[in-house]
A = this chain, B = another copy of it.
Amino acid sequence: MFEVIFDNGKPLTERVSSQIIQMVQESQLKPGDKLPNEFDLAQRLNVGRGTVREAVKLLVSRNVLEIRRGKGTFVTERVGVSDDPLGLTFIRDKHKLATDMQDIRVMIEPQIAAMAAARATLDDVAEMRRLCAEIERLAPLGEDYQEYDVELHTCIARSTKNIVVPNLIPIINKGIALFMDLSNRIYWPDTLKHHREVVDAIERHDPDAARSAMLCHTMLNRQCMESIQKKMQSAQ
């Protein structure tokens, strides 16, 4: 088969991966759905199997597809969103990053809470209650509750029913993880109180109260982070 390596200045792999994306969209494949096999893809797109393999690899690296060994190629759960969409891994100054990330959380999470208060369903609130209870059980025992903390903030983001907000979650998660790492997972009773206040306000469908409670919560984290960094600087 004759293959053109460059087309409109775009390498063939890029072009074929765009075609695969188009095919996924046109066949209305959803997250978790399986793609046709390599042989079928090669025939449909009129390219070699090696090219299909390269294009699939590219889409795997972009979090669009995932290969499950022995099972085939599937559309990922959070299509096209990497675990680190903002490339924070590559920011060298981790201390400034930790503080600046808290500013990002202060910037976006209160608004997300307000949106959630306007649109959360009874099921959403029940899930938030379950997560709060789990965090409140673990925190006093000194156990790691980061996973549930992340899940709670994720649940609040989903409750907004805005289709872009859930894709901001990896950013928020990164902020929570940075905070947890530097604060040595110290148990902050105020955090649990704030969580409850946010969820109470969402349940009452009171956007202003949800915004204020989340502002308190994220501001507290920001202040903790500042005082941790001051201590570290004076200890040097």
Contact = CB atoms under 8 A, between A and B. Distances in A.
A103 B86 contact: no
B85 A79 contact: no
A7 interface: no
A167 interface: yes
A233 interface: no
A150 interface: no
A123 interface: no
Interface in A193-234: none
A104 B61 contact: no
Given A61-B62, A79-B90, A87-B81, A165 B104 contact: yes
B89 A21 contact: yes
A100 interface: yes
A218 B189 CA distance: 37
A115 interface: yes
Contacts of A97: 163-164
Report the interface size class on chain A.
35 or more
Contacts of A100: 162-165
A28 B111 CA distance: 37
A164 B90 contact: no
A167 B88 contact: yes
B81 A86 contact: yes
Contacts of A104: 162, 164-165, 168
Given A93-B163, A167-B87, A82 B107 contact: no
Contacts of A62: 61-62, 82
Contact of A89 (B58, B61, B78, B80): B80
A96 interface: yes
A163 B91 contact: yes
A-B residue pairs, 9 tightest by C-beta: A80-B87, A85-B85, A86-B167, A79-B90, A107-B111, A81-B87, A61-B61, A80-B90, A100-B162
